[in-house]
Chains A and B, each alone.
Chain A
Amino acid sequence: MRSQGSNNWRVLGSQILVCVCCSAAAFADPAPPLSPTNIFAPASTPASSIFELSLFVLAVTGTIFLAVFFLLLYSVVKFRKRKNDDGREPPQVYGSNQVELAWTIIPILIVVALFMATARVIATVQETARLDNAIEVIAIGHQFWWEYRYPALGVVTANELHVPVSDPDHPTPTFIKLLSADTDHSFWVPRLAGKTDLIPNHPNSMWIDPHKTGVYLGQCAQYCGTQHAKMLLSIYVQSREDFDRWAQQQSQPSQEGDSTAAGQRIFETTACINCHTVAGTVASGRFGPDLTHLMSRDTIAAGAAKNTPENLRRWILNPDAIKPGSLMPAMQLSDPELDALTAYLETLR
């Protein structure tokens, strides 16, 4: 009964909204016209449930706005003091109990309707049971990058999250456990789900089930320090086959070639290994991103720069030039050392 009522409201709401601001329907897939991070272009169930609720809320608040706005406009125009005013005071009215009662009860009814629609979406998103075939990811927020671990698949990566597409008929959702290694962060990819914070000592979780392949963007949404702005998120939604191939490749150590021995020696004898891991070598630091498959990623520095040899070299030379305030120190290497190190990193595929 309750849900039916709020459904009708929603239908009415979306109709009104489409008529009034003609924007809602235009935000549909695949390429959102206004922004790749438009909250009105949902591509996953949590984002869609929020979108439907937002249409209802917008319809209700929009209607109230129009009604009160025109009342205000009318009274300002109609009851302005005229040029030919007789100078007498208008009738002194002190109030009216009936009127007061009306504009107390009507808002209460509106609030009840809004509340019930809202409570239902809270339950839909927060109380969803975990499916057996769901992908499990642990996302760990760091100043100022993202660590992703797939415990079941033996994969560790950074900044670019890969998940399989989820067919609505045979859903393969991804459940993300959210942890923080240092300060508060927030995981926000608007087209897939609302944001959830990553708080130290306070594990959170969220889930997504993207319906279409593609790259979905977002960024950290809780101020976390100097480089909060360049803590970008990208989620690569792949077909099941592509995802499995990616996971298989990522779970292997990277192949090494002899030609890069010099670069590898530099890597393993300087401070690099204090923070970075390259699986299969002595490098096993956890403070910075795992570099085992560095070259399989499109960007470096949490999306701050494209992953090209030139950028990689600039980054090692002086991270502050790309991302001022980043916690990676400038390594003070000579030009030949830089070249060798970059060449080594380029072999980490």
Chain B
Amino acid sequence: MSTDSIAWPSTTAESRSLVDHLHEWIVTVDHKRLGMLYILYALVFLVIAGIEATIIRIQLIRPHNDFVSPQVFNRLFTMHGTTMIFFVTMPILFGFANYLIPLMIGARDMAFPRLNAFSFWMTAFGGLLLYFSLVGANGLYGAGNAPDIGWFAYAPLTSQTFSLGHSTDFWTLALLVSGFGSIGTAINIVATIVCMRCPGMTLAKMPLFAWLNLVMGGLVILAVSPLTAAQIMLLVDRYLGGHFFDTQAGGSAVIWMHFFWIFGHPEVYVLVLPAFAFASEIIPVFSRKPIFGYSVMVGATVAIGFISMSVWAHHMFTVGMGSAANTFFVISTMAIAVPTGIKIFNWLATMWGGKIEFRTPMLFCIAFLFQFLVAGLTGVMLSAAPFNWQLGSSYFVVAHFHYVIVGGILFTLFGAFYYWFPKMSGKMYSETLGKLHFWLFLIGFHLTFDFMHIPGLLGMPRRIYTYEPGRGWDTWNVIVTIGVFFQAAGILVFLGNLLWSYYRGKAAGSDPWDAWTLEWSTNSPPPAYNFYTIPTVQSRRPLWDLKHPDDPDWKYE
């Protein structure tokens, strides 16, 4: 596939100044560079939002603690949630999608390179806007800086009456701006996958990674649009005398909830489908077997995409929707457990009968399987509306969705980092540091989020800056907080590993994992044009076919 005899023009000039380097990165339209920009940008915000979480946990380590004031605490959990969803998880997943999709489908770039750059910078400026509230939001009222409305910003807390100054405006505009970026990237991902596949790669021969990201892109377009509409309505309320959510003038707080969650629940799948995509690439390679039940996996993905659009009001079981609506959202929510369960079983079946290598990426994926199982089952518990009347808005819910986002998504993300780091940097990471990171983070994760379920069962609501002694919550909160420090140590090891490996790591070669998808057929790091010649494929595992000409996949698919 690669031809060494052709002399390609060198892409690196002799010596350039730092300014030239930066300029090149800022004006780039290369999907790989934009992918890495997304990832680096998200890592910065991961550290910021992680520090916010740590302060939250220190405040909650004992009852009546006064490490931070209630005002600061409320800003911290708002910023932590908003940052983690919109400026860490989404950009980091977009980054991997950007980097990997063209490589995996044998294309030279995304369908719309300049839209790609535009989208990244919109997202980046959205994040900066959110944090600019720290200096810009006081307004004339001295009303406090960062937004303190919670990440789902229920009306009427966001109205001028209850939110003086400009903190809510910064929140709204940040999400509006980054929302345009998300929609742009989603259109790009869908267009790339639909139009740019290399010869021979029919839809049924795409890597699952591409399928999952295709559905993710579709969901982003459907889900972020209502959020954007709601933000515009909120701005109209705040500045143009609108009354959409202004309850004091007859507006509806419940309408905001519907708008937010019709974005908010598909958003969970926007985040988790790419995590599934990582697992669907990593687990087969380290089990040395193809994915079990490819077509069923695709079907389950599409089913999740459709069903996820009809479950949003399970976030609103306590709102007083009436028994008919509650019952509908119970069945639609429970239904989504079926395709999700199918996926877990298929990953298990992929490992079954294989030869599992416990490299760092695989360790993270195995932990993901376990944790996603638990997260799915606590999700089933929450989907039973009456049980939800007790569990909703409690620390049980907080534990549940952190189990999804940290235990599910972040774990596979770490797996993806280690798995594709050799491709992106050309260097091998340190396996020792990788395993240290894994174990530290695993211990920290379970200390924090396993024990976080319990105060929820004992009646502790979320978003309280302090709590009363004598409610049986104290011990659990101590354990939860201790876990945070293990996680922080794990993150430090992870960042150290990335830096150390980038400068000191051994050369990785183009295919360190003996893997099967197209990105491993080109150099590490890949040249700007990705492939010397556009590849032609005959099966889902083109590199398997090359390595095993006696037993190619296309005979069986």
Chain A residues engaging chain B, CB cutoff 8 angstroms: 34-40, 47, 49-50, 53-54, 57-58, 60-61, 64-65, 68-69, 71-72, 75-76, 79-82, 85, 89-96, 99-100, 103-104, 107-108, 111, 114-115, 117-119, 121-123, 125-127, 178, 182-184, 186, 188, 190, 193-197, 199-202, 204-205, 217-230, 232, 303, 324-325
Contacts and interface: CB of A to CB of B under 8 A. Distances in A.
Contact of A118 (B354, B356, B377, B385): B385
A199 B463 CA distance: 18
B523 interface: no
B25 interface: no
Given A37-B458, A94-B557, A196-B389, A224 B157 contact: yes
23 contacts: A47-B390, A50-B390, A65-B373, A69-B370, A72-B348, A76-B366, A91-B353, A92-B289, A92-B290, A94-B294, A96-B292, A115-B334, A118-B330, A126-B326, A186-B461, A190-B459, A197-B320, A202-B320, A204-B320, A226-B148, A228-B74, A303-B468, A325-B70
A270 to B, nearest CB: 25
Nearest to A194: B389
B351 A76 contact: yes
Contacts of A199: 247, 253-254, 319-320
Contact of B74 (A90, A99, A190, A226): A226
A183 B353 contact: no
A194 B355 CA distance: 49
Contacts of B459: 35-39, 188, 190, 217-218
Interface in B458-479: 458-468, 470-473
A111 B248 contact: no
B381 A58 contact: yes
Interface string B492-527: 000000000000000000000000000000000000
Given A188-B461, A221-B394, A71 B348 contact: yes
Contact of A122 (B352, B385, B463): B385
A93 B296 CA distance: 14
B315 to A, nearest CB: 12
A182 B156 contact: yes
Interface in B122-158: 148, 150, 154-157
Contacts of B348: 68, 71-72, 75
A190 B472 contact: no
Contacts of B335: 111
Contacts of B327: 118-119, 122
A79 B353 contact: yes
A122 B330 contact: yes
A190 B472 CA distance: 14
A-B pairs, top 8 by smallest CB distance, nearest first, are A194-B389, A37-B459, A35-B472, A229-B464, A200-B247, A204-B320, A95-B293, A35-B458
B470 A104 contact: no
Contacts of A35: 458-459, 471-473
A222 B154 contact: yes
B369 interface: yes
B392 interface: yes
A80 B358 contact: yes
Quick one: which of B154, B357, B466, B548 has the most chain A CB within 10 A?
A: B154
B191 interface: no
B463 A202 contact: no
A90 B387 contact: no
A50 B289 contact: no
A197 to B, nearest CB: 5
Nearest to B341: A107
Quick one: which of B385, B390, B466 has the most chain A CB within 10 A?
A: B390
Contact of B457 (A39, A68, A104): A39
B289 A196 contact: no
Nearest to A120: B386
B241 interface: no
Nearest to B347: A72
Contacts, number: 283
A53 B384 contact: yes
A317 B33 CA distance: 60
A195 B70 contact: no
B50 interface: no
Given A61-B380, A218-B459, A226-B71, A90 B288 contact: yes
Q: Give the secondary structure class of A's interface.
A: mixed
Interface residues of B, number: 97
Interface in B289-305: 289-290, 292-296
A68 B386 contact: no
Nearest to A121: B386
A79 to B, nearest CB: 5
A196 B287 CA distance: 48
Nearest to B391: A39
B356 A79 contact: yes
A183 B457 contact: no
Given A94-B290, A126-B323, A201-B251, A186 B318 contact: yes
B459 to A, nearest CB: 3
A82 B150 CA distance: 50
A36 B471 contact: yes
A111 B389 contact: no
A195 B393 contact: yes
Contact of B70 (A79, A94, A226, A232): A226
B157 A183 contact: yes
Contact of B386 (A118, A200, A229): A118
Contacts of A226: 70-71, 74, 148
B531 to A, nearest CB: 26
B150 A324 contact: no
Given A94-B556, A107-B337, A193-B389, A114 B466 contact: no
B80 to A, nearest CB: 14
Contacts of B319: 197, 199, 202, 204
B489 interface: no
B9 interface: no
